Each structure stands twice: as C-alpha cells, then as structure tokens.
Structure 1
Amino acid sequence: MSSLSSTSVLPPAPASAPGAAAPSSVLRGIPRVLSIAGSDPSGGAGIQADLKSIAAHGGYGMAAITALTVQNTQGVRAVHVPPAAFLAQQLEAVSDDITIDAVKIGMLGDAEVVAAVRGWLEKVRPGVVVLDPVMVATSGDRLLQPSAETALRGLLPLADLITPNLAELAMLLGEAQAGSWTEALEQGRRLAAETGATILVKGGHLDGAACPDALVNTGGLLAQEIVEVPGDRVPTRNSHGTGCSLSSAMATAQARLGDWEASLRLVKPWLAGALESSGSLDVGAGNGPIHHFHHVQAPVTVAEPRQGLAVGEFAEILRQESAADLEAIYNLDFIRDLAAGSLPEKQFAYYLAQDATYLNGYSRVLARASALAPTEAAQLFWARSAQQCLEVESELHRSWLSTRTVEPVLGPVTKSYVDHLLAASVSGSYAVLVAAVLPCFWLYAEVGKTLHAQFLAAGAPADHPYAEWLRTYADEDFAQATREAIAMADEAGRRGSEDERAAMVVAFSQSCRFEVDFFDAPRIHA
C-alpha cells in the first residue's frame, strides 16, 4: 500500500506526477465539487445525477444550472436555456464564497453558455476540471445546438479530463464513429494530442460482452500513453445518466486521490454496481437511471444486519462473505505450487516485491485506523500493527529481496488494492476502514495456517524453498493479532448503524476480492 502519514491522509502529488491533479489543487477528504450542467426533472441525469455521484464518492456537491429540460426515462421533450448572463452570476456567486476543488461540466446548450463557462474557468482556474461534452443523449436526442460545437471545441484545452461517448468523440474530431475498441483508442489519442487533455475513452457503446475504459494522454501525464481498465458489460436497459454520473464521480475521486488511474479504478467498479442494481429502483418505463447508492446497502446475498447483534455475530457475517474468496485462493496455481515447493522463483520474487510495496502503504493505512480508533486499546493495537508491517517489509528486503534482482514495478493489482484502502481511509469511518483492512489479516492467517499444516504433514522437508514464508504466516503472534482485528471489526459492526454495517460488508468484500487477485498476480505478471 502506498505511504500515508497519520496527519495527512493522502500525500500531495508533485506537479510532475503521472496522473496528478494540477499543482494548485489540494487533495481533500471531502472535496467541494461544482457541477455545471443541465437539469433532469426525472432525476436520472444531469445535475441530479451529478449531485448523487458526488455524494456517493464523499464529496460536497454544488450546482450551476445551464439548461432546463423536459424529459423522463423515455426521452427529451424540450430544452430551455436561460440567459448566459444568469449562469455567469451563478458561477460567480459560488466561487466568490466557496473554494472549489473540482468542476464537472456537462450540458451547455448554446455558444453563449459555452463562452460564459470559458470566461469563468479562465478567471477561477479550478484545480480539477472534467468536461463531459454532452452533445447527444443515450436516447439519441441532440442536446447541443450545432452552432455551439465550435465554441465547445475551444473549451476542450481548459479541461484536465474529457469524457465523451463514442458518438461525441467522433463529432469532436469530425470523423465517423469508431466501430472497434482499437479505432476508439486511436481517436482518443488524436483528441488528446489536439487538446493536451487526458481523454477517457469509453467502450460502453461497442458491441460484445467486454466493456473496457481507457485513459489516454499523449503528453506524458499518465504512467503510459494508454491506461486501459477492463470490464464486463452489464446487461440492463437502465443506463440513463451513466455518462453524467461517471464524469462527476471522476471529478470527485480525482480531488481526493490526485491520480486519474486511481480514480478510474475506484469509479469503474462503483459504476458497474450501479448498473447491476439499477433494476431495484423501478423508475420509469424507458431507459431508467442507475443506482448511485447501491454500495451503502447490504448485498442481497448477506443477511441484513440487525440492531443489537450479539458478540461475534457480525464477524460471522463477514466470515460467510469471505468464504467464496478463500476457496478461490486455495484453488489458485500460485498457492498450490507454493505449498508443494514447486513455485517458480520468479513468481515468488514478484509476489514478495509486491508484498513489500503493499506493506509499506498498509502500515500507513493502519496508522490512520489508529488515529480514528475510539479507544486507547484499539489505538495501540493498530499502531503496533502498523509498526510490525514496516518491520516485516524491512526484513523482506534484508533477507530475500536484497539478494535477488527484482524489477521494482508497482503491479496493477497492488495499486488497485492500495487505492481501495486509501478510499476507505478517507471515508472518515473507522468501522469501514477496519473492515477494509481486515482481509489482509484474516485471509492471510487462514491461508498461512492451512499451508503450514500441509507443510508439516509432508514432513517439513528441509529443502522446501518457501518454508520461511509458511512459518511466518502460521506464527501464533500473527494469529493472535488476527483474532484481535476480527474482534475489533465485530465490535465496530455491532456499534454501528445498519447503513454503516452494510458499508463495512462492501469494503470487506472488495478487499477479499483483491486478496484473490493479489495471490494470482504473479502468475499473470511475473
């Protein structure tokens, strides 16, 4: 996990850091995010969707309305654009009083509105600007006057991130719409070169089961020119406001994390969940909205926590939630080969190198848990755990990694796992953070105990190359620390509200899935 300090949840990104926010921006636990967009009276898109997305990602949402629409889930019936001067007054009123950490720009309507927004951006210079060039609705309705397209193109260089759908990407370039993912990426590269901005190329309008997204920047602002995040298509008719929701979520996440890739890896799973659970809203007869707050409700596979849980009852809910992931870990080739002693040294070296990087950041997240803990005993436990993580990391480097040539590359799974924990650490909830860090105790202890038992059953062969690792995670001190961590998560769950317990289950489940991926990563990347 990447480094954190106990007093600053996220380190400021240097001006030259890949994917970093503008040097003037300040990373905030609760970013103040302004949406400049049109209004949707049915609540699924525009300002209404933006404010939900901002809140869902821990931001404080504000809104300046550019247009009033008459629409529902079946389409847009009419659009009214108020005078641009009135929009300018809205913008000035907000920025005269409130520091704005991020701006999301959506529907602008006409050239005068675009000019008002451009003048305000040039004056205020917000740290993060995300532009969703709303030109065509998912329903096919045109939302930007043709005369305003030239003005909109002039606004693009003022954005840090541009999030067009494939039709809008083609319109901005004056080309035919891409028919394949490769063509879409090439169009994204051309638009990035023209504007200097980072382009979020979205695969949602392509055919097929896959639904990838990619960040594209040709100016060296990302770790590489194209950063692709794969995903699966969610079969649903409820996609109303997906683009609005994605762009405002990215603006909020970027103001918190300061890294576009980290933001996308945080937002994309959330959006997939919002699409998957959209049917439960039962809104409208047409293209319904997504479920912005699906993540704060208990998964349907888990018994809903009740008030007055007995000691150990919430821990049992978490144990059941982890069972499938624990089984998946035991079925991995990496684990089987590790137990047998036949794992290629290259894979084990990759695993330990990633583990050392992870533990460095994990120690900082544990320190954050110590700072948030409600009792002295909990504060001391998490502080000791943080120290032990650093000691284990140092020992890894001294005893194993220092004697071998290991390429110091931060793996994508490690980074995603760390980003997930960072997001939990800035949530402000001690309970959610404890749930997020628990699988690194619990699943490791279970796996270590099982593998060590197999090692002993085989006669503890002296030539087993990974015996020391197996002994480390079967150590009784680690087992005791795991029991204490489980007890603290159980207590936090019993003391929390039903909504907080549901959020704990989600955070815990996500970390469990990352544990599976972490063990499997050496097979893929080593």
Structure 2
Amino acid sequence: MTTSSFLPVFPAKAPAPIPRVLSIAGSDPSGGAGIQADLKSIAAHGGYGMAAITALTAQNTRGVTAVHVPPAGFLTAQLDAISEDITVDAVKIGMLGDAAVIDAVRSWLGKARPAVVVVDPVMVSTSGDRLLQESGEAALHALLPYADLITPNLAELAVLLGEPCARDWAAALEQGKRLAALTGTTVLVKGGHLDAGGSGGSSSYGEAGPGGGCPDALVNTAGLLARDVVVVPGERVPTRNSHGTGCTLSSALATVQAAAILQAGNTLPAAGDWEAALRVVKPWLQEALRTSGELDVGTGSGPVHHFHHVQPHTRDHGAAAAARGPAAGEFAAALREAAGGDLDAIYGLDFIRGLADGTLAQKEFAYYLAQDALYLNGYSRVLARAAAMAPTEAEQLFWARSAQNCLEVESELHRSWLDGRAAGVKPGPVTKSYVDHLLAASASGSYPVLVAAVLPCFWLYAEVGEALHARFVAAGAPEVHPYAEWLRTYADEEFAAATRQAVAYADAAARASSAGERDAMVLAFRQSCRYEVDFFDAPRLHA
C-alpha cells in the first residue's frame, strides 16, 4: 500500500489538560513498585505525578526485608504542603503501614476532597509479604468509603472480608460484590492471580475469555455502573515479571479517569466512567507485562515496562526531531513496518489458507460473516465519532461516508450471504474486545489516536484481500470455488482508494501531533493489528 507524496499539515490543537495526580504510598528502592511505579505509570498516561511517602521499605524483586513507617504527623505535613499550593485532580492511595498513617490520610481526604480517589489496599504483596499491620485493618475499613475505586488483589480482597481467598473467578466476583456493598463504592476484581484454568471460564456475569484468559471486573451494587458486574476480558501474559503490577494499574486508572473528567470540562460525574478507563489501561498493562523482559531488572519477579510505548531516541533523533515531527509518509511507513509480523501471522492462519483454496468449512465462514456483521455495526459508530472529531471538512466527509458504507453496503452484503441467519447471534469474545478497544480509543478524546485505531481494519483487510484475490486469479478463478463471489469483492478499487486515503489522514494526523500522542497512536494501531489477527483466527476456535 502506498501513501500520497503530499499530505496537508493541520493546525496544532490546544493541548489537553494534564491531570495532576498524587500518589500516597510507600517507597520501593528497586523502582518496580510503590511510589516509583506510580510515578512512571502516571507519566506514561500523560499525567503530572506527585508523591507523599507513607513508608520506606527495603525490598527488591525477590521480596521485602524491612519496613520503616515515619511518623504520621510528617505525612500530614507532606499532604498539606501539596494541597495548599497545587490542585490535585486525582489521588492514588497505596501502602499505608499502620492505623495512625491511615487516619492521617482519611483526615486529609475529608478536607481536600479530590475528584478522583483510587485505593489500592496494599496489605499482602505478590510474594506473600504482609505490608499492613493487623492493627491497621479496622482503620483501613474506615478509609475505604472515601474511595471511588478499590483495587485489591485476591488475597487482600479476602482479608478485607475476613474470608478465605477465592479459588475461582465466580467466587472472586461474589467477594467483590460483598466488598462493594460493604463500602458503597466500586471494586475492581482482578483475575491475574487466579490459576490459568480458574480465571478462564465464563460466569453468569459475562464472558471472561477462553481458557488461560485474565479477566478483570468492575463491581458495584449501588447502580453506578451499567451493570452490577462489568467484566473486561483479557489475555494472560506468561511472564515472571509482575512486580508492582497492582500499583501500576491503580495509578494508571486514576490518571486516565482524571484526564477524562478534565477533558469533559468537569461535566462528568465525580465517579466518571471506570469501564472506559479500564478498557484504556488494560491493553497498555498487558503490553507492559509482555515487554517486561526487555528491562532485565533483578533475579526475582521483575518490574513491568511502563514506557514500552515510547520509542527510544538516538543521539541524532532527540528533542529537535520530536519537535519537528515525521516527514510526509514517514509515520505511515513505520506503521506498515510494525504491522508486518501481524500480516505474516494472518497469512499463516488456517482460516486464510482455507478461504483462499476453498477448503474452509462452511460453519467457520458463517461464524466469520456473522461476527463481521456485528463488528461492522460497532465500527460504523466509531467511524462516525471520527467524523465528528475530524479537524477538516474533507476528513469529516470521508469518515462519515465510511461509516455509512459499513452500514449500508458491507452489512447488506453480509446479510445477503447469511440469509438472515445472523439474527440473535451475539458478539464473540474477540469481536467484543476489538469493538471495546475502538470505543476506548474514541473515548480518549484524541482524533489521531482514534484514526490510528481504526486504520488496521482498512489497511490489513485491504492487503489481505488483495493477496487472496491475487491467489484466486492465479489459480484460474475457478467457478467451483465456494467462496468465489466473496473473493471477487476484494478487488474493489473504491475500497483500495479509501484505504489509501485513511493511511494518508493517519500520517497527516501524526505530523500534527506531539511525540507523546504519536506514541499513543502506535500503541492503538498495534493493538488493533493484533485484534485483526485474532478476528481471522476466531472461527477456528469458536465456530
């Protein structure tokens, strides 16, 4: 796929407000958890991080060997110094140490009243170390109602309820409901610590993904969510490097939530939309886990890679190059190179080989068509959002026409192939996750990020279609091929032209963006590419 040699440069947009996020937590000298992880996570999501230290620890990737809790009065002095001078848009609360420290934080929250409060009740580390004295548990219970979101690991969830630790996903969700009812706030139940088999099943609350998955769920019995339990499925990343994952997740959620409220001009309710925030943060954290080995830190459970989405600069490509931005076509070329592995993966799928040579099972093709029709319905809504956000009339018209095409042309084609058999079909786990990812990009408020997220459905689909059609023609276009009519649709030059235009708009948006926003574009694009691979492979798993 080629891009235009000339692309317009759009006027720079007013910068989005930067959320000021305060972490109240313990310090980790190894840099993987606590305050250090929080500040990295806040920065990775575009926030300005601040820190009030509650405890000093001696720890590394193998465990905690000592904890020192400074006087609670000194913590109060830190908190007062910050709030007397700086507006705090969000607070993440982590390790608190003892009852006096917890009482100091609760007293300060009563005075400061920050808009977003996330409590990660650090009581038991992943390695099993006890990080809160038992005498502090009652004080912690008094603090929890001040939170907008509570993010315990499964061991902490059990301790807060005085119950045994949940052994499966259904039991964990029930415990989350009990804690939500007890505190009157939203609880994030995390499936990361369940055995691969235990976290992978489904429950009455929604799909938790296939075996080996890693679901998370937002739970609130007081009607603050779309449902009492909102399950967000995800993949389980095989790695030993999970040090600081809870700290990282909670501070990222606080930052994204605060950014959304600021972006909306403080018109969102104080509770905001935790589901949207989780759908933004979860893919980022999965990639931070997946790339954690690149850091090579420690001999135990190493830290996650908070800045995996930031491309390193050489001496010749420093701040000046970032300020200058990529040349015309350069960003698009980098995206195409990044998608090479995903395209190779698609071409290697049994589904694609069977579609090309006509041996694909009818039930797999029917599943693919039904899911594609459902996907296109959601995709059209996201394209309509891109039209509303576009900075020029030409782009507005392009994305609006693309949204209309999804509904009126491609969906009609699917209905004719399916002959009404798609009625009542529900989105599969990949379809739902892919659409949720696009909706999260739409909710980010960034037009460049949204354009990057929708691009693979144009670009990869066009390239795969061109390759399939070429194979079909090379084989003599046999009429006995069961998918002959479908393969001919891939030769549509109008779609190829639309794809070239979408690539050009994404390239232009990158040129008008900051380096940080371009990094976010790359992350959104890569996530969509992976979903494209999974979408083509889904019929084999679910048909």
Q: Distance in 2 between matches of 1:410 and 1:160?
A: 30
* Residue identity matched to 1:387: A
Structure 1 residues 352-361 or 177-186, which shifts more?
Answer: 177-186
Equivalent residue number for residue 174 of structure 1: 162
Question: 1:514 and 2:531 equivalent?
Answer: yes
Structure 1 residues 267-276 or 278-287, which shifts more?
Answer: 278-287
Question: 1:362 and 2:362 equivalent?
Answer: no
Structure 1 residues 384-393 or 188-197, which shifts more?
Answer: 188-197
Structure 1 residues 125-134 or 202-211, which shifts more?
Answer: 202-211
CA distance 1:426–1:224, change in 2 (3 Å): closer
CA distance 1:224–1:409, change in 2 (3 Å): farther
CA distance 1:80–1:52, change in 2 (3 Å): same
From 63, 68, 86, the equivalent of 2:56 is 68
**Aligned-partner SS, 2:235:** coil
Question: 1:242 and 2:250 equivalent?
Answer: no
In 2, are the aligned partners of 1:358 and 1:414 still within 8 Å (CA)? Answer: no
In 1, are the aligned partners of 2:375 and 2:435 still within 8 Å (CA)? Answer: no
CA distance 1:200–1:458, change in 2 (3 Å): farther
Shift of 1:452: 4.7
* Residue identity matched to 1:391: Q
Shift of 1:163: 1.6
* Residue identity matched to 1:192: A
Q: Summarize deviations over 1:162-183 as a string: whole Å, max 9, x none.
A: 2222221221121233344454
| Structure 2: segments with no counterpart, 5+ residues | 1-12, 198-211, 261-271, 314-319
Q: Distance in 2 between matches of 1:387 and 1:459?
A: 35
Equivalent residue number for residue 190 of structure 1: 178
Q: Distance in 2 between matches of 1:129 and 1:445?
A: 45
Shift of 1:50: 0.8
Q: Which aligned pairs between 1:289-368 and structure 2 lie closer than 5 A?
A: 289-297=303-311, 315-330=332-347, 342=362, 347-365=368-386, 367-368=388-389
Structure 1 residues 423-432 or 147-156, which shifts more?
Answer: 423-432
Question: 1:83 and 2:83 equivalent?
Answer: no
**Aligned-partner SS, 1:234:** coil
| Identity fraction in percent | 60
Q: Which aligned pairs between 1:41-56 and structure 2 lie closer than 5 A?
A: 41-56=29-44
Q: Distance in 1 between matches of 2:462 and 2:25?
A: 49
From 394, 404, 412, the equivalent of 1:391 is 404
From 163, 169, 175, the equivalent of 2:151 is 163
Equivalent residue number for residue 214 of structure 1: 216
Structure 1 residues 72-81 or 507-516, which shifts more?
Answer: 72-81
In 2, are the aligned partners of 1:66 and 1:108 still within 8 Å (CA)? Answer: yes
* Residue identity matched to 1:273: E
In 2, are the aligned partners of 1:436 and 1:511 still within 8 Å (CA)? Answer: yes
In 1, are the aligned partners of 2:339 and 2:529 still within 8 Å (CA)? Answer: yes
From 106, 113, 117, the equivalent of 1:129 is 117
Equivalent residue number for residue 18 of structure 1: none
* Residue identity matched to 1:382: E
CA distance 1:30–1:473, change in 2 (3 Å): farther
**Aligned-partner SS, 1:144:** coil
CA distance 1:90–1:294, change in 2 (3 Å): same
In 1, are the aligned partners of 2:232 and 2:279 still within 8 Å (CA)? Answer: no
From 226, 229, 235, the equivalent of 2:233 is 229
Equivalent residue number for residue 281 of structure 1: 295
In 2, are the aligned partners of 1:111 and 1:151 still within 8 Å (CA)? Answer: yes
Query: TM-score with structure 1 length normalisation?
Result: 0.75
| Structure 1: segments with no counterpart, 5+ residues | 1-8, 10-27, 300-305, 372-378
* Residue identity matched to 1:513: R
Shift of 1:126: 3.8
**Aligned-partner SS, 2:166:** coil
Question: 1:483 and 2:483 equivalent?
Answer: no
CA distance 1:415–1:262, change in 2 (3 Å): farther
Q: Distance in 1 between matches of 2:367 and 2:301?
A: 50
* Residue identity matched to 1:63: A
CA distance 1:498–1:125, change in 2 (3 Å): closer
Shift of 1:204: 3.7
Equivalent residue number for residue 5 of structure 2: none
Shift of 1:359: 1.7
* Residue identity matched to 2:55: A
Q: Summarize deviations over 1:397-434 as a string: whole Å, max 9, x none.
A: 67876995734966654554355446656778776555
| Alignment RMSD (CA, Å) | 4.2
CA distance 1:509–1:400, change in 2 (3 Å): closer
**Aligned-partner SS, 1:240:** coil
